[in-house]
Chains A and B, each alone.
Chain A
Amino acid sequence: MDITRRHLLALLPAAAVAWKYILAGTPEASPNYKLSEHWWGMLIDIPKCIGCGSCVRACAEENDVPDGYFRTWIERYHVADWRIERPEVESPNGGKQGFPPNEISGGKNFFVPKLCNHCTDSPCTQVCPVGATFVTPDGVVLVDKSYCLGCRYCVQACPYGCRFVNPKTNTAEKCSLCYHRITKGLTTACCEVCPTGARQLADLKNPKDPIHEFLKTHTVQVLKPHMATGAKVFYNGMDGSVR
């Protein structure tokens, strides 16, 4: 049969539809993992953090984070006795190589590890104009690299400063709560290497998770509760000076 121009025009839409199925993404990798059975968060026990930077190094290695950018980082607070509202905060290279001895004596000194708070009502997903960032049904905020335009709205919207644009891919990036690990039954890279147990992955939908007992018996806070983001990174023993 000769293909006339008319035939070809009729075939084009059909070909377009077929192509879409050829391009369709791969199915989910973990067959036993059910999205509806989990609700992920993290517990950070500030009095246990020694500022060793293991979490920052592990995160960079696990997630191929470029130098000078951080999906998680550690801040060192120095609160002078008389100025709780003006803490001095430093984070040399995100705390990746640990911290030099504290120059200033006196006052109160402690470390605060930070990461994406995996907010239930996350400001970053609300501002994304293309649906490239989203909260998964199991409560993790992720970025779809193939959809992200790199417009940086989300970087500005995050009240915790947890996002950046990867200079290699030019797309927004952030902590994925090691989604590729937690869906395989592993813990996150940062929690895996934390030598003191200052960071613990928490599955809030799992009744056997020790997080429930911890939340009942401790005074736990989230960062910037007044922003009403529904943050799911819980901080134990957090000083009022922490921003």
Chain B
Amino acid sequence: MFKDIEHLIRLALVIAIAVVAFIVLRVAVVPTSFGQYGHYRGAAVGEAAARPIAFAGHQVCEGCHTDVAEKKKQGKHVVVSCEACHGALARHADDPTSVTPVKLDTATLCGRCHEANSAKPKLFPQVVTADHSGGIACDTCHQPHKPRIEDEKPAAEGKK
């Protein structure tokens, strides 16, 4: 019927091989989860979720350190999470002997929040530390877990 049909068969064969090679390569190269949720590797979502954490979260801290949690409840720092001052301690939460939290330098730590700055909200307790304490550590007078000094009048808190 066709003249020189062998040419066509040979061409079809080449195309067929190219198509098969493309499909095989594509299957081999594109990850299985690509397109699971959209135009991206679906497994990447699980990988992002599987990373280890550094901050344990205050609920975990309070599970063991109930005395500190109780003390904090009596003061304004109840809203401040443990790791805001003590740093990331998920490893300590996993195994308390692995990392021992260091004693904090209150002279610099407290100032990060309470050093006076005109951009801070007016109602937030602020001091100029140089005038307020002359550089001595804040925990000489204030206990960080319950910062109000007992015999101080409530209205005077945080103000010089």
Residues of A within 8 A of B (CB): 13, 16-17, 19-21, 23-30, 33, 35, 47-54, 58, 61-62, 76-78, 97-99, 101-102, 105, 109-111, 131-137, 142, 144, 146-147, 176, 179-181, 183-184, 186-187, 189, 192-197
Contacts and interface: CB of A to CB of B under 8 A. Distances in A.
B63 interface: no
Given A25-B43, A30-B49, A61-B88, 17 more contacts: A17-B27, A19-B28, A25-B31, A25-B41, A48-B121, A51-B117, A54-B113, A58-B55, A58-B83, A77-B119, A98-B112, A98-B115, A102-B118, A147-B41, A186-B55, A192-B81, A195-B80
B44 A179 contact: no
Contact of A109 (B38, B54, B57, B118): B118
Given A192-B55, A193-B55, A195-B84, A29 B28 contact: no
Interface in B74-91: 79-81, 83-84, 87-88
Contact of A142 (B24, B31, B45): B45
Interface residues of B, number: 46
A111 B44 contact: no
Given A29-B46, A101-B117, A62 B80 contact: no
20 contacts: A26-B50, A50-B124, A54-B84, A54-B113, A58-B83, A76-B119, A98-B115, A99-B119, A102-B118, A111-B120, A131-B40, A134-B38, A134-B40, A142-B44, A180-B48, A184-B53, A186-B55, A189-B88, A194-B84, A196-B124
Interface of B: 24-25, 27-28, 31-34, 37-41, 43-55, 57-58, 79-81, 83-84, 87-88, 111-113, 115-121, 124
